[in-house]
Each structure stands twice: as C-alpha cells, then as structure tokens.
Structure 1
C-alpha cells in the first residue's frame, strides 16, 4: 500500500511546525550561548586541570613522583578534561533553525524548496515513513505515519 508524497510531506511539515513551536525548543535555540556562565565555569575548570597536569609533569621531571603514579593521575585528569570538552566549545546554531524557532510558519512560507531542504537537514537526524497497513475508513494519526529524530533540540 502506498501513500501520496504530498500527504507525507504535509504530515512531516506539521510535526516540524509543532516541534519548533515548543517552548523548550525555542529556549534552546534562542537563549544566549552562555546563559548562567556555564561555559565560563567550564573553561576555568579546564585551565585548572591543565595547570594540574603541567605540575604533574614537573613533578615527574624532578623525580618527586614515579612515572607509574603520574600515569594514573594523568589518566584521571585527561578523563575530566574530555568530559568538559563539549561544554567549553562555543555553541553554533544554524540560522535557519533560529528563524524556525522565532516564527516557524512565517519562515517556512517565505522559504524556497532548497531552503526548506536545508532546514530539514539542519533540524533532523532521521525521518521514517512508517507502514500503516490497510487504512480503510480508519484515520491514521501523524505519529503512526511519520517518526522524526531531531538533532539535540528537545525530544
């Protein structure tokens, strides 16, 4: 059983509008990049850990700490640095997603087909058209028909 592409597009676009109208998605996309100073605190912690690592290397060079002990300490420090890595990178948000968060219906209506495709690519990981079987007189909900996995913009 096949479905018309227009219907699938309409359903998926409806889900897109719904998603970008959600307050949590709007907040994630429109909030200032370092709200609450999280990035600043993470950077300060990275600098502290890097100094600690440099001190550890100095201790090894001066033979005040064994290489085996230093290796264990270094592993722990590097694990902490890796955990902080994602928090210190500046957040980059695709301008198309910002436009969708500001006013999804207006942005969508103004865009060309190519711009809409770019927005889809920026917003989702995957779009699955689900099998619905014989529909008959039964109304199939959009959620039964289309599943979208969004890129880190709320679920």
Structure 2
C-alpha cells in the first residue's frame, strides 16, 4: 500500500470543523426527510449511509452518517473518528450491540456489525486506500491504534 512519499503527515481540518461538517450533514438529512444526505458508492467514490446504534451506557438511540464501500452484500466502513485517536462512540456502541440498522438511499437494512481481521482486513483496507489515492496509511499513522475496518453484514430483521 504505497503512499505519496511525503515527508510531513497529511493535514486535517481542525476537529471543530470536522464535527460541524458531520452535524451539518445530519441536519440536511433530517431537514429533507432523508431525501438528501445518502448516496450509493460509485467508481472511485465511497457512498454515504446513516448507521443507527443504541448507546451502550444510556440505551438511547443514536445515528451517525458514515462513508462506506460495498463488498458483495456487505457494507464496509472505517471506525476512525475523523482520524482522531479515540475510537468513535458509534463503534463502541456497535461492539456492545452489533445487531442494528442502516439507512441507504431508498431502503433501511438490518445489519450485524463486526471487525474485519486478517486477509479480509488487508483486502478491504486496500480497497479503501484506492479512494484515498494511497494516503490512507499516512492518515492512519496519525492514530496510536489500528483503525478498525467494520463490516456490516445483512442480518434478519427479527433476531428471534
């Protein structure tokens, strides 16, 4: 997985800007009744979905907008928290309750989340690296921990 050979790490916008961007994205989604804000992946471009989780401590419902790629019937995203070091709350919630739903353009899908490991992780990481034009490893190096590759597999709507 090559990079650009930069001598300095990639630059990120300030944390407040990243948080405002995602809050604005959620507001557009809500304000348009879900008509705007979601997208299917296209060649060379990730899609956008809304992942719903339940707070691991509060039990309250939460929703977050995430980029994703498709891998057969699975949806794949990165648990990166805007490249900040701590794991994103949605990932901690998903680990505590992996059975959940995602909103995609024109559909709601029941999924079960898990972390990709081994060869699967390497393959999916390489697919994401293509979207970052080889800089994904440089961004990931800004974190003190490995960035989880999260696979959302189709799940039965009724877990019983």
TM-score, normalised on structure 1? 0.26
TM-score, normalised on structure 2? 0.26
Q: Which has the larger Rg?
A: 1
Instruction: Please state which structure has a larger fraction of its residues in helix.
Output: 1
Higher RCO by CA contacts (8 Å cutoff, separation 6 or greater): 1
Instruction: Please state which structure has a larger fraction of its residues in strand.
Output: 2
